[in-house]
Structure 1
Amino acid sequence: MNLDNKYKKNTLLIHGGQVGNNPEKALNPPIFQTSTFVFDSIEDVAKVMNFESDDYVYTRGNNPTLRLFENKMAVLEEGVGSVAFASGMAAVSSVLFSLLKPGDEVIGNSTLYGSTYNVIKNLLPQYGVKSKLIDLTNLELLENSISENTKVIYFETPSNPNLNIIDIKGVCEIAKEKNIKVVVDNTFATPYFQRPLLLGADVVVHSATKYISGHGDVVGGVAIAKKLDYVHKLKFDYMCEFGGVMSPFNAWLLLRGLKTLGVRMREHEKNALLLAKYLEKHPKVKNVYYPGLPSFKGHNIAKSQMEGFGGIIAFEVEGGLEAAKKVVNGVKLMKLAVSLGDCETLIELPAAMTHLGYPTEKLKEFGLTESMIRISVGLEDIEDIIEDIENALR
């Protein structure tokens, strides 16, 4: 029985995307840890190759475990289909290459994850694709920046690491008038808190490594879209040919992670809001960036397009870079690490770690500073998290 149109999101996190019972009536789906599938006859081969059959050929093209993960992500984001990738950046780069050709232009938000910034700013221009990075919170600036060659608008919301909130619906309304595709990185919010396709976006991408996994033991990515022909193009012309295939074991781990996504996101958000409120009142902290704070610039837009504010906060301390270094070096419970979305609380200096590719002299232009600290707030007791940062600030 297909449950996808019947139940709400917490139920779909556990049951969505699955039709019928698992093999041998197992409660959990098996891992189809195989590279190759066999055929009964050459006639069966022809049916599969012509998409007249749902059978499998080779895991780089499809696999039952991968298919279940892709189906579930499509259900959660309310798309028609999705494509799993070996990493978040495999998803991001494949989507961009699939939508752009030499002579085209992509407009990206000025604040992006460091590797995404490098792809848009430095890699795509080597293939004849022009790029502009602008402040997409300014819709008037966006309208004035679009050229006849603009084919894609790409952004994260909330953005990494300063949590800027971009009006998805507003951007999409501008884009649709000019037949421009909109791609949204939904990693920070997850489909539990935000569904960009319902607000007009064409493609949603995730680093599944983060909250979808939730346990720091998987690297993966996924892209979800509204049109089935595009999903097929992305899978067979780009994922398969570039070779960024997810392993069946990683897909199985992500399916396991999705079961608890709702519970985890609610707790991440609860802890993040309490920590943000604490930091906002601390005399040694000068700026706190968290969409759940009424003082945050994008708070009202976040309330209108999100069902929760997420588990990431950023802040700056008095004393600049040296003071920030003392804070991240001074924590004991938190772990100094890249990545986010794990059960453990992770702390980092983006300009020295995840966003190292940004030129230092232009950090302010991109909404960053050398001393900005990012915390992925984990699931520990909030009293322990606050005590840890309090000791480090002291």
Structure 2
Amino acid sequence: MANLTALLKVPEVECVALCDIDENILNQRKADLVKLNIKPKLYGDYRRLLADKNVDIVVVATPDHWHCLQLIDACAAEKDVFCEKPVANSIYEAQLMNKAVERYGKVVQVAQWQRSQQHFRDAIAFVHSGKLGKVSSTKAWMYRGGSKALPVVSNTPVPVGVNYDMWLGPAKKHPFNKNRFHYEFRWFWDYAGGLMTDWGVHLIDMVLMGMKAGTPKSVMATGGKYVFPSDARETPDIQTALYDFGNFQMTWEHNMATGVGLYGMQHGIAFIGENGTLLLNRQGWEVKPEKDKLEALPWSKSVDSGLDKHAANFIDVVKSRKMNDLNCPFEAGAKVAIASHFGNVALRAGEKIYWDEAKSKFNVEKATRLVKPVYHNGWKLPIV
């Protein structure tokens, strides 16, 4: 709904249809829109929505395990797409989607909206200016204070109005459990990748952008369920990953126990250079100099809405077809999704992993088995 709200601020955009497998959510969103004198058609199957000739663009804001099928099907149906992050729930899916976007030539903007927010753009421009000197170390982190244990609950009958088979889609068959459904799906490997691919994609994206980085050469990770060891989540509540990009390193940290993160910032990105350190998060940015090497820059606050600007940028490109004007083209979304999945793969494999770009595999067989997902329930990986 946040994406739709941002898009509706662009005068040319009309909401003509909504699709959800939960009629309760669908009817609530319709009621919200009717108050704005918007009366969309309702669909329970995304394929029927894609067949609607009145639909020019679609927003893919489903659980991560659905993104690959829905984005590729949307492009094949001649729709432009605004796709939520992470773009995929696996390395292979992100690669496959990248091929599809290139093949179909549709406008695809990934919802990494920080790329459109002015203070992020200013901070990254400062990194690119070279004033920090050589940057050999970077950090990204999210300390999610306020988290509570997700209590283990029994499986229950599927709620009335929910097409649970369609919700599962290509994921493994599993009895309905509210812990694995709306929002909380993020903590189960079948559907998502925990904080690493939720917040990590946003923050690591800034590191890759600032360092003009490609694919990591190697990754090692540690972590586990230390904060809530017996709760229902599968993904780690504490995790640290160390990435080697060849000419610099990056650490990712997340912690669901406390909100006091690195440098006193709950979440953020640090570029640590010879001449100073640039600190950046959603509230603003600053530069702390090494002694006598650089002038300090005081905290500069965020003053705009990154999501609103991101939505407007998407529509501008839908109209102009100038793909180079996209603030977050699919390739950028795929790159950071893959990097984030590397961190989770290293953790789950329990070893330092090295990536073979040519063979698209890791040096560790257990890690390579996590590259490509297995689709279930009659769903097949798309062929591009």
**Scaled by the length of structure 2, what TM-score is found?**
0.30
Structure with greater helix share of residues: 1
Structure with greater strand share of residues: 2
Q: Using CA pairs below 8 Å that are at least 6 residues apart, which structure has the higher relative contact order?
A: 2
**Scaled by the length of structure 1, what TM-score is found?**
0.30
